Each structure stands twice: as C-alpha cells, then as structure tokens.
C-alpha cells in the first residue's frame, strides 16, 4: 500500500472512530432518565487506547466532562489494577478529584477486549439529578455534606451488576429511579460504544488500535505544535473578579507561550472558599485547555495528543485547585469563568483573537417542589414532589467582527430544557421566558442578550431552589472600548430581592424572576453601523431612545 493510500485509509478509520463515539453519546441521550442528559446534553463520551489516552471524543457533550474524562481513565486503570481488568467489567466513580469535579457527575469506564486481549476503553460521563446530601447547591462546608461519594469501583464484575451498590444508592438519593436509571444508561452507552468499536475493527480487519492511534497522535500533535509555533512567544497575564459566595473571588492567570507549549499558571488566584464553589484541578484544567484549543487550534480534533501541548498549574489549596474534603458541588460556576480569564490573556497576545467576556457560568437552578400541607388542589390533580434541574444561559461576549450570541451557553455548550419538557417533570409553571432587552453591552459589536425567566410552583405547591448564579455584582466586561453587559438579578414577582447563591424558599402563590446577565460589547459603541443599531431596535434587543432618534451608529 502506497504512503498516500495508507494516509487515506487511516483518515477514514479516524472518521469512523469519531462516529463510533458519537453513536455512543446519542445512545446515552436516548436512554437517559434525567432532563439534564436527555434534553440538555450534559454528558460526554470517548474512546481510549489501552493505556488510557483519549483517541476520540463525541461532538455531543460538554468540554468540562470531555476534557476531565480525558484525564480520568488513567485513574481508573491505576485504581482497579491492569491485571484485574476483565471482559464484562464496568467501572464507575463520582469522585470529584478523579472524575468531573463534583459528586453529581458519574464517570463510567468499560474495558474493550478483542479476542481476549485488551485493546482500549470506552468511557462516558453524565450529570445525575440527585446524590443525596444537601442537594445540588453551594451551601455545604465539606464534600461529605454534598452527597454520596462513590470511589472508583466495579459497577459490574464480569457482566454481573453490583446489586449491593445499587441498593445503597437507592437508599441515599431522593430520585432513586432517575438516578439508577441514568447509571444503567451510562453502562449501556459504553456497551454500544464497545460493540461499534468491534464492528469498526472487523470492517477494517484490525485486531489492535496501535497503528491508528499512532497516526491520530502524530498528526494531531504536529498540527497543534504548528499552531503554537506561529504565536509570538512571551508571557501574557489577565485577572478577573467574580461574585463568589459571601465575598468576591479574584482569579489570575499567566500564559507562558513557548515554541511547543502553552502553559497556564493560575498563581495569585484566591484560596479555597468555605462553601461549595471550589474547583478541583481536573475541572480547571478541562476548561482551560478548552479555551486554548478553541482559540488556537479549533479545527484539530480533541484527543490526547492535541491537548498535550496545553498544560495547567494552580496553587494547591487555591479555589481553582481545591483539595479534599473541600465542598465542590457548584464547581461549574467558577470553572466556567476560566475560559474568559484565559481568552482575556490571549487577547493581549493577539488583540482581535478573543471575544469580550460573557455571562460565563450557567444559571443552573435546582428546584425542590413539595405539596403545601392541607392545600386544596385543582380537580383531577394529584399532589407531587419533584427534584428538577433547569439549565439557563446568559449572553456571550461580542467578537471582533460579530455580535455576541443571545442566551447561549458558553463555554459549557449545554442546551436549555424546553418549557414543555420541564413542566412534564413536576408541578412547575414557566410563565415567561424571553430575551432581556438591553442586556448586551454596547459596542461596535453588541454583546449577546441574557434572558428573563419567571416561574412558580403549580397550585397547591411551593418550592425551594438552590441558586448558583454569578455576574450579579461583577458583570461581563467589554473589550476594546466595548461596554459591560448588564448584571444579573434575582427577585420575586413582588420585587423582593433574593440571593444569587444558596437555598431559598419561594412561597406558594409567588413567582421567582431570574434576569440573566448579558455579554460585554466589543469596540467603540459610536462606531456601530447605523443599520445594525436599527436592526437591534426593530428586534427589541435595545430600547428605542425616548426622542425616537438613532443616537448610536456610524
């Protein structure tokens, strides 16, 4: 076989490998019980070589899960022991420091054997609705309060499910059917990944992934290094202050760019919080590498070799390298700001490369609905209790040549749960869900808009919610003369202010109103084209000036 034909052959196999993990991820979406996975895509899937190095990832999923999982599989091999791996085994953990950063994310790893020989692993991660403890929120002072902690162990041993583990889980979570169902979905999607991997190897008549791995890694590494080599070497710094919980948090980064490496050092970042906003390093690394990869090498597929030139460090005990037993339940809040910090540093290297800051952290809300004792319900309706998780997104930052995206999850990439789907999962009513006028920062290119969401419990019910919001006191900053995005707000429909973090009650008959933050603008607002501003007014993105005249635009 000629060299050129061989390259084509390997490229076809590489593409097929990506389709294998994409089917694996979609199997999880189709079989999941929780709306976080089924509707929002809060998951990841990937295939790894026999050493635990990621060969390919599914496009479906979130970078926090995928890039954390890229590091996690080696921990599974170490914990189980290579000599103890067996066909039919399935392993799991929700260890925040060896998985995806908090207890609500379960990572499943399945070894793939071919003709009795270990050839690789398939792995997946998904968010489950409940793990017991205080529930999904930031109020705990130790990880022990946040729910049940499952170390790396067997979910199935040579094909036999660990029913003792299932029994323990059922008695430690509020939504047992959903949680256990999602764990079986994770195991099943790995099984599909393994089956499709074997079919691919049959198709191409190979019994090892070694040559394909070498081709993937050699090409990915070379392409990534070429991108890095074209950058101006040096040190580029940035800092960001966000709301935190009880007191602001400052995060700092120093990007050190050399001929073959980009290293992100978070020295100077504040220390651990006593509350659950801390971030394990595996999650900080996941989102830092995601930002670098998006900005510097976006067209190169994600795998071990394309990620290897990007390295991360943070002081032990800092809020971005929290140590056990620190509370980490809402690690996503600060973790989702890591890309904006990194992109801000990159903008000092290449001014038009990075967008302005965006809303960043998802405005996740965990809702616990309960019947009001003694309350009369509408005819034909039964009292219900439910645990629900709703994903909501503010606006992203404007770019050097384009407006920011409205109500879009960046950097997470999850989808919002539709109103119809959410209202089917429990006694909740969504009264309003609309773009928030004027929330995008002004600029030559406007920041993306946040949204307004108004919700209540159904008649005869009330609810508590766990708030995990940010950008209320520290809005997204504009870039290159662009204005800041609007800060977020949390209140009841009668105007009573609510806290941006922590567990709170919404009384029966009251509605909760969330006003999500907007993204920062890019460039001088006075240079915004008149037609763009007129379009904003026509669409209701900005308020029409009181005198009816166009006061912005060039």
Q: Residue 234 domain-assigned?
A: no
Q: Choose the final residue of a domain: 187, 220, 253.
A: 220
Which H or E element spans position 79? helix 63-80
* pLDDT at residue 67 is higher than 90: no
User: pLDDT digits over 391-432, tens only?
Assistant: 999 999 999 999 999 999 899 988 888 899 889 888 999 999
The confidence band for 40, taking pLDDT boundaries of 50, 70 and 90, is confident
Lowest model confidence (mean pLDDT) among 222-226, 314-318, 381-385, 420-424: 381-385
d(CA 553, CA 284): 40
Cα–Cα distance measured from residue 491 to residue 496, given in angstroms and rounded to the nearest whole number:
5
Q: What are phi and psi of 241, to 5 degrees?
A: -110, 130
Within-domain flag for 331: no
CA torsion 330-336-341-343 (nearest 10°) is 170
* Model pTM score: 0.94
Is residue 528 assigned to a domain? Answer: yes
Average pLDDT for residues 260-270, to the nearest whole number? 98
For the chain, the first-to-last Cα distance in angstroms comes to: 61
The burial of 423, by beta-carbon neighbours within 10 Å (0-12 exposed, 13-18 middle, 19 or more buried), is given as: middle
Which of 220, 239, 266 lies at the terminal end of a domain, its last residue? 220
Range(s) of the domain holding residue 413? 355-554
Give the integer Cα–Cα distance in Å for 514 and 393: 11
Which of 50-64, 205-219, 239-253, 539-553 is the least confident region?
539-553
Considering the domain boundaries, does residue 290 fall inside one? no
Give yes or no for residue 553 having a pLDDT over 70.
Answer: no
Mean pLDDT value across residues 171-199? 96
pLDDT in tens, 520-534: 999 999 999 999 989
Centroid of chain to Cα 207? 35
* Residue 545 confidence (pLDDT) above 70: no
Provide the token pair at 143.
Answer: 């990880």
Whose CA is closest to 258, among 275, 233, 241? 233
- The predicted-structure confidence for 466-514, as pLDDT tens digits, reads as follows 999 999 999 999 999 999 999 999 999 999 999 999 999 998 889 999 9
Residue closest to 221 by CA, chosen among 306, 289, 292: 306
**In-domain check, residue 550:** yes
The pLDDT score that the predictor gives to residue 550 is 47
CA 331/CA 280 separation, integer angstroms? 8
pLDDT above 70: residue 253? yes
Alpha helices, DSSP H, located in 266-406: 281-296, 304-307, 331-335, 338-347
Q: Identify which of 552, 475, 550 has the alpha carbon closest to the alpha carbon of residue 519.
A: 475
Within 146-236, residue ranges assigned H as helices are 163-170, 176-203, 210-229
Residue 533 maps to a domain? yes
Q: Which of 220, 241, 275 is the last residue of a domain?
A: 220
pLDDT for the residue numbered 554: 46
> What is the arrangement of strands in the sheet containing 451-457, beginning at the earlier edge strand?
428-435, 451-457, 512-515, 489-492
User: Would residue 296 count as lying in a domain?
Assistant: no
Least confident piece of the model among 33-37, 82-86, 393-397, 488-492: 33-37
Look at residue 310 and give its three-state secondary structure. strand
What is the rounded CA–CA span in Å between residue 546 and residue 554? 20
Q: What is the mean pLDDT of the chain?
A: 94
Q: What total number of domains does the chain contain?
A: 2
Q: What is the CA radius of gyration of the chain?
A: 24
Q: What angle do CA 506, 512, 515 make, to 5 degrees?
A: 145
List strand residue ranges (DSSP E) for 353-500, in order: 365-371, 386-390, 428-435, 451-457, 461-468, 489-492
Structure tokens belonging to residue 473: 């006191």
Q: Would you say residue 270 lies in a domain?
A: no
Question: With contact defined as beta carbons under 8 Å apart, do 440 and 417 qualify?
Answer: no
Q: Give yes or no for residue 546 having a pLDDT over 80.
A: no
Rounded alpha-carbon distances, angstroms, from residue 416 to 35, 235, 440: 10, 38, 19
Lookup: tokens for 238: 């940035």
Compute the average pLDDT of residues 150-155: 98
């Amino acid at each position: 076989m000629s060299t050129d034909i061989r390259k084509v052959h390997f490229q076809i196999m590489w593409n097929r490998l990506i389709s294998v993990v994409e089917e694996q991820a979609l199997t999880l979406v189709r079989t999941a019980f929780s709306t976080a996975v089924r509707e929002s895509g809060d998951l990841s899937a990937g295939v790894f070589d026999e050493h635990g190095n990621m060969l390919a990832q599914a496009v479906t999923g979130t970078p926090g899960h995928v890039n954390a999982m890229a590091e996690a599989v080696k921990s599974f091999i170490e914990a189980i022991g290579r000599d103890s791996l067996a066909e039919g085994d399935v392993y799991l953990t929700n260890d925040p420091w060896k998985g995806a950063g908090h207890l609500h994310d379960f990572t499943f790893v399945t070894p793939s054997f071919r003709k009795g020989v270990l050839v690789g692993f398939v792995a997946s991660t998904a968010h489950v609705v409940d793990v017991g403890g205080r529930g999904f929120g930031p109020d705990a002072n130790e990880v022990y309060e946040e729910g049940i902690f499952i170390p790396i162990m067997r979910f199935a041993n040579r094909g036999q499910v660990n029913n003792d583990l299932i029994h323990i889980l059922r008695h430690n979570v509020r939504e047992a059917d959903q949680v256990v169902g999602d764990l079986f979905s994770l195991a099943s999607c790995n099984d599909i990944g393994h089956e499709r991997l074997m079919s691919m190897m049959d198709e191409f008549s190979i019994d090892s992934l070694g040559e394909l791995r070498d081709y993937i890694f050699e090409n990915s590494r070379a392409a990534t290094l070429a991108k890095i080599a074209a950058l101006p070497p040096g040190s580029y710094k940035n800092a960001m202050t966000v709301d935190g919980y009880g007191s602001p948090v400052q995060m700092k980064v120093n990007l050190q760019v050399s001929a073959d490496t980009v290293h992100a050092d978070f020295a100077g970042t504040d220390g651990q919080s006593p509350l659950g906003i801390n971030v394990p390093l595996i999650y900080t690394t996941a989102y830092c590498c995601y930002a670098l990869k998006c900005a510097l090498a976006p067209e190169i597929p994600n795998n071990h070799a394309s990620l290897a030139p990007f390295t991360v460090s943070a002081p032990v005990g800092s809020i971005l390298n929290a140590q056990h037993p620190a509370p980490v339940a809402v690690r996503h809040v600060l973790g989702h700001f890591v890309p904006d910090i990194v992109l801000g540093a990159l903008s000092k290297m290449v001014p038009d490369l990075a967008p302005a800051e965006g809303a960043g952290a998802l405005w996740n809300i965990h809702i616990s609905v309960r019947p009001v004792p003694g309350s009369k319900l509408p005819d034909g309706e039964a009292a219900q209790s439910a645990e629900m998780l709703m994903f909501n997104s503010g606006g992203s930052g404007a770019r050097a040549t384009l407006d920011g995206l409205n109500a879009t999850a960046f950097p997470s990439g999850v989808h919002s749960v539709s109103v119809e789907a959410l209202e089917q999962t429990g006694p909740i009513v969504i009264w309003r869900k609309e773009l928030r006028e004027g929330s995008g920062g002004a600029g030559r290119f406007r920041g993306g808009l946040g949204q307004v969401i108004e919700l209540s419990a159904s008649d005869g019910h009330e609810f508590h919610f766990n708030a995990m919001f940010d950008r209320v006191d520290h809005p997204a900053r504009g870039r290159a003369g662009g204005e800041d995005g609007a800060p977020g707000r949390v209140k009841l429909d009668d105007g009573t202010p609510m806290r941006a973090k922590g567990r709170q009650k919404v009384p029966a008959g009251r509605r909760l109103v969330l006003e999500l933050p907007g993204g920062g603008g890019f460039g001088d607002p006075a240079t915004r084209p008149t037609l763009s501003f007129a379009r904003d007014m026509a669409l209701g993105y900005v308020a029409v000036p009181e005198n009816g005249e166009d006061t912005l635009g060039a």
